[in-house]
Amino acid sequence: MRHVISALVRNKPGVLAHIAGMFAARGFNIDSLVVGRTEDAELSRMTIVAAGDEKVLEQIRKQLGKIIDVVKIRDFAEVDYVERDLMLCRVHAPPEKRSEVVDIVNLFRGRVVDVARNSLLVELSGPEQKVEAFVDLIRPYGIRELARTGVIAMPRGAQAQRRAAERQTTE
């Protein structure tokens, strides 16, 4: 089963290596790992996608909780959330096939961000399944290059507001 976990970590050198090392040492596979700044310059948000049963997920949460530089862990298994994966893809698109490729890009609400003589550079974002479906559909045209950010995720607004209100009443 696929699990999406978010961890707020201190923005310090070595934290990413420490967490990745923890996963490797315990034999947990990481499907996706994204790290980026947050609204607080001292914190970064890691979004980790891993596969495993409930026992594996519990071990991951416990091990992350033991790392000093991990400030907060959020498992998205029990909440409604929004996830996005961003992709740039250079697709073989000679003039006679270009309109077909553009139609597929438009169908997926992507954007052509660069045009060359025999290729198009496409930007696409959405849930991981959408990006995978696009890649499968465009593959017969010829993928020359592909780069993806990995999954980022946040809880939907109503849940985030409810948690913020709960924090205010406990403070």
> What is the predicted pLDDT for the residue at 37?
92
Q: Any bridge partners for residue 37, and if so which?
A: 44
Instruction: State pLDDT tens for residues 79-136.
Output: 899 999 999 999 999 999 999 999 999 999 999 999 999 999 999 999 999 999 999 9
Residue 116 lies in a domain: yes
Q: Is 112 exposed, middle or buried (0-12, 13-18, 19+ CB in 10 A)?
A: middle
Residue 88's domain spans which residues? 82-154
Residues 87 and 52 in one domain: no
List the CATH number of the domain containing 115.
3.30.70.1150
> What is the predicted pLDDT for the residue at 147?
97
Residues 68 and 134 in one domain: no
> What is the predicted pLDDT for the residue at 125?
97
pLDDT at 74 over 60: yes
Instruction: State pLDDT tens for residues 12-52.
Output: 999 999 998 888 888 888 899 999 999 999 999 999 998 88
Instruction: Choose one of 78, 95, 124: the last residue of a domain.
Output: 78
> What is the predicted pLDDT for the residue at 28?
83
Query: Bigger pLDDT: 155 or 57?
Result: 155
pLDDT at 73 over 70: yes
